[in-house]
Chains A and B, each alone.
Chain A
Amino acid sequence: MSFAFYLVVALTVAGALAAVMLKNTVHCALALTVAFAGLALLFLQLDAQFAGFAQILVYIGAVAILVVFAILLTKGSETPRDGVYSHNWFVGLVIAAGVFAVLGWAVMGSARILPHETAVPTVTVLEIGNALVGRYVLALEIVAVLLTAATIGAVIVAMHEKEGKS
C-alpha cells in the first residue's frame, strides 16, 4: 500500500476518534467533517470518483451542516458538568472493542481468498446515469419517494406547535 493510503487513513481515523471523543459538541461536528473528507479521499483512491464527490456534496455539504444546525438549536455546545459519557460507557466500549475484534478476525482469516482485481475500472458519469435510469430505475424511484417522505416528515416532526393547540 502506498504512503498516501496510510496518510489518508490516519487522517480519517483521527477525525473519527476526535468526533466521538471531544468534549465540545461543535468541535465534534468539525472533526466529523474531517472524517467525511478522509472517507471521500479513500473513495477517490478506490477509483470511485462519482461516489467520492457525492460523499463530499452530501456529507460535508449537507449532513455536517445539518448536525451543526441541530447542535446550535439544541444548545448542545454547552459541555455538561457531569461528564460527556454515559453512565454505562464501559459496557459500550467493551462491545465496540469486541465488534472490532470479531470483524478484524474475520477479515484477517479470509484475507487469502478475497478477490483482487488489478485492472483499474473506468466508470464514467454517463454510464452511471444510464445505469440509474435503466437497470436501477425502480430503486431510484423508491429512493426519490423515500427522500421526499423523509424531508416532509422531518419538517413536520420539527415544526413548532403553537401554544394552546392540541
Chain B
Amino acid sequence: MTPLASYLLVAALLFSIGLAGALTRRNAILVLIGIELMLNAANLNLIAFWRYGPHPERMTGMIFAIFSIAVAAAEAAVGLGLVIQIHRHAKTTDLDAMNRMKG
C-alpha cells in the first residue's frame, strides 16, 4: 500500500468516527466535536495530497488546509455561541429534548 493510500484510509477512519459521534451523541457540544473531527480528517487529506501529489512547490493543498483551519475556527466560535444561547433559552443541551423551533 502506498503512503498516500494509508493516509487517506486514516482520514476516512477519522471522518467516520466524527460522523458517528455527530449522529449518535445527544449533547450538542459533542456533535460539534464530531464535526471538528470530520473537518480535521478533510485537512489531513488535503495535506497528504499536497505531499505526495505533483508540484508540491506550488503549495496549493497546504494553503487550502490553512484556510480550512481558519474557517473551522470561525465555525467553532459561532457553533459554541449558539449552543450557549440555546442552553440559556431551553435550559438543556440535549438534542433529543430540543424538538420545537419556537422554544
A joins B in a complex: yes
Query: Residues of A with Cβ closer than 8 Å to B?
Result: 1, 5, 9, 12-13, 16-17, 19-21, 25, 28-29, 32, 35-36, 39, 42-43, 46-48, 50-51, 54-55, 58-59, 62-63, 66-67, 69-71, 73-76, 80, 83-87, 89, 91-93, 95-97, 99-100, 103-104, 107-108, 111, 114-117, 119, 121, 123, 127-128, 131-132, 136, 139, 143, 146-147, 150-151, 153-155, 157-158, 160
A51 touches B62 (CB 8 A): yes
Residues of A within 8 A of B83 (CB): 70, 74
B52 touches A115 (CB 8 A): yes
Q: How far is the CB of B38 from chain A (nearest CB, A)?
A: 10
**Sampled A-B contacts (9; CB under 8 Å):** A20-B25, A25-B27, A42-B47, A51-B43, A51-B47, A74-B29, A114-B5, A143-B67, A153-B81
A70 to B28, CA, bound (A): 10
Residues of B within 8 A of A157 (CB): 78, 81-82, 85
A13 touches B10 (CB 8 A): yes
A62 to B76, CA, bound (A): 10
B88 touches A160 (CB 8 A): yes
Closest B residue, CB atoms, query A55: B69
A143 touches B25 (CB 8 A): no
Closest B residue, CB atoms, query A1: B6
Contact of B73 among A62, A104, A132 (CB under 8 A): A62
Contact of A107 among B9, B44, B93, B95 (CB under 8 A): B9
Residues of B within 8 A of A83 (CB): 26
- A29, A70, A115, A146 interface centre (most CB from chain B within 10 Å): A70
Residues of A within 8 A of B70 (CB): 58, 143, 146-147
Interface size class of B (residues with CB under 8 A): 35 or more
Query: Residues of B with Cβ closer than 8 Å to A?
Result: 1-10, 12-27, 29-30, 32-34, 36-37, 40, 43-44, 47-54, 56-57, 59, 62-63, 65-67, 69-78, 80-85, 87-88, 93-96
B40 touches A39 (CB 8 A): yes
Q: How far is the CB of B42 from chain A (nearest CB, A)?
A: 11
